[in-house]
Amino acid sequence: MSKIWSFLSRTRGRNKLHITDIITYVYLSLSVIIMFGPVLWLILSSFKSSAEVIKFPPRLFPYRQETIELEGYDEPLPLYEVTLEDGSTKVLAQVRRVGIEAQMVDPESPGEIIKVNIEDRNPVERIYFGLENYIEGVESFNFARYLTNSVIVTVFATILTLLVNSMAAFALSKYRFRGRNTIFLIMISTLMVPLSVVLVPVFLVITNVGWNNNLLGVIVPGAATPTGVFLLRQYMLTIPDELLAAARIDGASEWRIYSQIILPLAKPALAVLTIFSVMWRWNDFLWPLIVLSRNEMFTLQVGLNSFQGELNVQWHLILAMTVLTLLPISVVFAFLQKNITTGIATTGMK
């Protein structure tokens, strides 16, 4: 114990634990609860049965009632802890309930029926993590379809984003040509204009192209992001021009220079853009909401939102589906969190 204490108090190079150190660690511990707690509560709740989900006050862990299979009964019987008339308690199995009276049997002597007031019995429960909500949710929620759509959008949009933006960044950073500055300026000036400002006309364009209810309408429009061009161009400017000149003398075509020299050298910037793009696309909501109106074309986010908007909210299913939706991005984060945080800290954008 004293070892732990000396380890904890070994801060700021002093011998004593300073008051500011205590405040720091209290702040950090509270933060862990506030930042992770809600997600943890969601995950714990997602294993609760539909009956338990609406119980108040809520309990921390998901419970399920113990059952027992007895000869002579087709279905497993639920177990209760019963307070008998003489004051002793006993675990009994309930056969049926009639009004305020429950007919119970003793598992050790199943032949004899004991009648008990329902006030006198408490269910025997244990902590139980079952996948029932997940299975039922996936079946009733069209999860596979939404997941497929989300994966298609994320993968193809990211490939297209990387390709289109790195090509443009290459041209804007490594060539002198008429109109270069104009093109760059127009792109940069729209950097801060969000989709929300052009909702109506974008919908018109999508309609005219015929991409309503088509995943292409979600994939293509966002692919040319000024952010991406800017990020890649700044990086490519640091690649020396001599490399390109040498390759040209060796007879390499411009495309070869781009694909064999520039792309491999720009890998760190491309990695950052990949992470951004995956994050943007997986979590995107407003754009797919406008483009997609047929249920079977929904992405996970749009599907999840329409599912929670239905009349009788089935929380136990929604919770399970929410966990499934946040799972992929959490796994990616767990493995790549260092790359993500440093990438964002250095570029200053999201």
Partner 1 sequence: MTVQTKRRSVGDFFNQISSAILDFFVSILDLIFGTLQRVIGIGGMPYMFVLPNLLIFGIFILFPMLLNFVYAFTGGTEFFPDLRPWVGTQNFEQLLSCENFLDPNTCQEDLFWRAVFNTAGYVVFQVGLMVLVSLITALVLNRKIKARGFFRSVYFYPVLLSPIVVALIWKWILQENGLLNGIITALGYDKVPFLVDAQWARFWVIIISVWAFMGFYTLILLAGLQSIPSDLYEAASIDGANDWNTFSKITLPLLMPQMVVVLVLSLIRAVQIFDVVFAFTGGGPGTATLYLVQYIYSKGFSSPSKQFGLAAAASLLMAGVLIVLTLIQQIMRREEQ
Contacts (CB under 8 A) with partner 1, residues 282-341? 282-283, 285-286, 290, 301, 304-305, 308-309, 315, 318-319, 322, 325-326, 329-330, 332-333, 335-341
Binding flag, residue 254, partner 1 (CB under 8 A): yes
Report the C-alpha dihedral over residues 331, 333, 337, 341, rounded to 10 degrees: 180
Give the binding-site size for partner 1 (rule: CB under 8 A): 107
User: Do 68 and 93 touch, CB atoms closer than 8 A?
Assistant: yes
Min dist CB 296 to partner 1, Å, is 19
Q: How far is the CB of 205 from partner 1 (least distance, A)?
A: 6
Nearer to partner 1, 122 or 260 (CB): 260
Residues 232, 273: contact at Cβ < 8 Å? Answer: yes
| DSSP characters over 243-290 | HHHHHHHTT--HHHIIIIIIHHHTHHHHHHHHHHHHHHHHH--HHHHH
- Interacting residues with partner 1 between 265 and 284 (CB under 8 A): 267, 271, 274, 279, 282-283
Residue list 86-145, contact with partner 1 (CB under 8 A): none
* Cβ neighbour number for residue 108 with a 10 Å cutoff: 8
Q: Is the peptide bond prior to 221 cis by the omega test (within 30 degrees of 0)? A: no
Report, in Å, the least distance between residue 253 CB and partner 1: 5
3-state secondary structure labels for all residues of 185-203:
HHHHHCCCCCHHHHHHHHH
Near partner 1 by CB under 8 A: residue from 203, 213, 216, 265: 203
- DSSP E strand boundaries for the chain: 63-65, 67-68, 77-83, 89-98, 101-106, 109-117, 121-123, 125-127
| Binding residues among 20-79 for partner 1 as defined by CB under 8 A | 20-21, 24-25, 27-28, 31-32, 34-36, 38-39, 41-42, 45, 54-58
Residues 211-250 binding partner 1 (CB under 8 A) are 220-224, 226, 229
| Residue whose tokens read 């309408």 | 217
User: Closest separation between CB of residue 203 and partner 1, Å?
Assistant: 7
Note whether 197 binds partner 1 by CB under 8 A: yes
In angstroms, give the least distance from the CB of 166 to partner 1: 9
What's the gap between Cα 61 and its chain centre?
22
